Amino acid sequence: MKELQSSQERSYTPFIGPFDPCVPVTHKTYVIPPNQYIVFQPLNLPQFPLQEALKLGTLWPALYSPYESRRGRREQTKDGNESL
Protein backbone atom coordinates (compact mmCIF):
# COMPACT_ATOMS: atom_id res chain seq x y z
CA MET A 1 0.00 0.00 0.00
CA LYS A 2 1.47 3.31 -1.04
CA GLU A 3 1.32 6.02 1.64
CA LEU A 4 0.14 9.50 0.79
CA GLN A 5 3.18 11.56 -0.11
CA SER A 6 1.59 14.98 0.02
CA SER A 7 -0.72 16.79 2.38
CA GLN A 8 -4.44 16.14 2.09
CA GLU A 9 -5.07 19.89 2.07
CA ARG A 10 -5.17 21.60 -1.32
CA SER A 11 -5.52 25.27 -2.19
CA TYR A 12 -6.59 27.42 -5.10
CA THR A 13 -6.98 31.08 -6.04
CA PRO A 14 -10.61 31.99 -6.81
CA PHE A 15 -11.63 34.46 -9.48
CA ILE A 16 -11.93 38.02 -8.19
CA GLY A 17 -14.27 40.15 -10.30
CA PRO A 18 -13.54 43.82 -10.92
CA PHE A 19 -16.97 44.88 -9.58
CA ASP A 20 -17.14 42.52 -6.57
CA PRO A 21 -18.47 44.57 -3.63
CA CYS A 22 -16.99 42.24 -1.01
CA VAL A 23 -13.44 42.09 0.26
CA PRO A 24 -11.71 39.54 -2.00
CA VAL A 25 -10.63 36.17 -0.65
CA THR A 26 -7.34 35.51 -2.39
CA HIS A 27 -6.65 32.00 -1.13
CA LYS A 28 -9.08 29.13 -0.41
CA THR A 29 -8.30 25.64 0.90
CA TYR A 30 -10.11 22.31 0.91
CA VAL A 31 -9.34 18.77 2.08
CA ILE A 32 -9.38 15.66 -0.10
CA PRO A 33 -10.28 12.65 2.07
CA PRO A 34 -7.87 9.71 1.85
CA ASN A 35 -10.62 7.30 0.77
CA GLN A 36 -10.52 9.00 -2.65
CA TYR A 37 -7.11 7.41 -3.28
CA ILE A 38 -8.01 3.83 -2.30
CA VAL A 39 -9.93 2.07 -5.07
CA PHE A 40 -10.55 -1.13 -3.08
CA GLN A 41 -9.60 -2.32 0.40
CA PRO A 42 -6.41 -4.38 0.12
CA LEU A 43 -5.89 -7.40 2.36
CA ASN A 44 -3.83 -7.09 5.54
CA LEU A 45 -3.92 -3.32 5.90
CA PRO A 46 -2.15 -2.17 9.07
CA GLN A 47 -4.54 -1.33 11.90
CA PHE A 48 -4.52 1.05 14.86
CA PRO A 49 -4.85 -0.48 18.33
CA LEU A 50 -8.53 -0.55 19.34
CA GLN A 51 -8.38 2.31 21.88
CA GLU A 52 -6.49 4.56 19.45
CA ALA A 53 -8.88 3.65 16.62
CA LEU A 54 -11.83 4.73 18.76
CA LYS A 55 -10.17 8.09 19.44
CA LEU A 56 -9.20 8.67 15.79
CA GLY A 57 -12.46 7.43 14.25
CA THR A 58 -10.96 4.81 11.95
CA LEU A 59 -9.31 1.42 12.29
CA TRP A 60 -6.91 1.89 9.39
CA PRO A 61 -4.08 4.45 9.31
CA ALA A 62 -4.44 4.70 5.51
CA LEU A 63 -7.94 6.16 5.97
CA TYR A 64 -7.07 8.56 8.80
CA SER A 65 -7.54 12.25 8.07
CA PRO A 66 -6.92 14.59 11.00
CA TYR A 67 -9.43 17.38 11.49
CA GLU A 68 -7.89 20.75 12.23
CA SER A 69 -10.40 23.33 13.36
CA ARG A 70 -10.16 26.67 11.57
CA ARG A 71 -11.66 28.39 14.59
CA GLY A 72 -8.89 30.23 16.37
CA ARG A 73 -6.39 29.57 13.58
CA ARG A 74 -4.91 32.82 12.38
CA GLU A 75 -3.21 33.41 9.06
CA GLN A 76 -0.94 36.31 8.27
CA THR A 77 -1.79 38.35 5.19
CA LYS A 78 0.70 39.97 2.81
CA ASP A 79 0.39 43.36 4.52
CA GLY A 80 1.35 41.84 7.89
CA ASN A 81 -2.11 41.88 9.48
CA GLU A 82 -3.61 38.75 10.98
CA SER A 83 -6.91 37.36 9.71
CA LEU A 84 -8.99 34.27 10.46
**Tens digit of each residue's pLDDT (9 = 90 or more) over 58-78:** 999 988 888 777 776 555 555
**Tens digit of each residue's pLDDT (9 = 90 or more) over 23-55:** 999 999 888 888 888 888 788 899 999 999 999
Given pLDDT bands bounded at 50, 70 and 90, which one contains residue 4? Answer: very low
Identify the sign of the CA torsion 54, 60, 61, 62: negative
SS3 category, 51: helix
Separation CA 48–CA 38 (nearest Å): 18
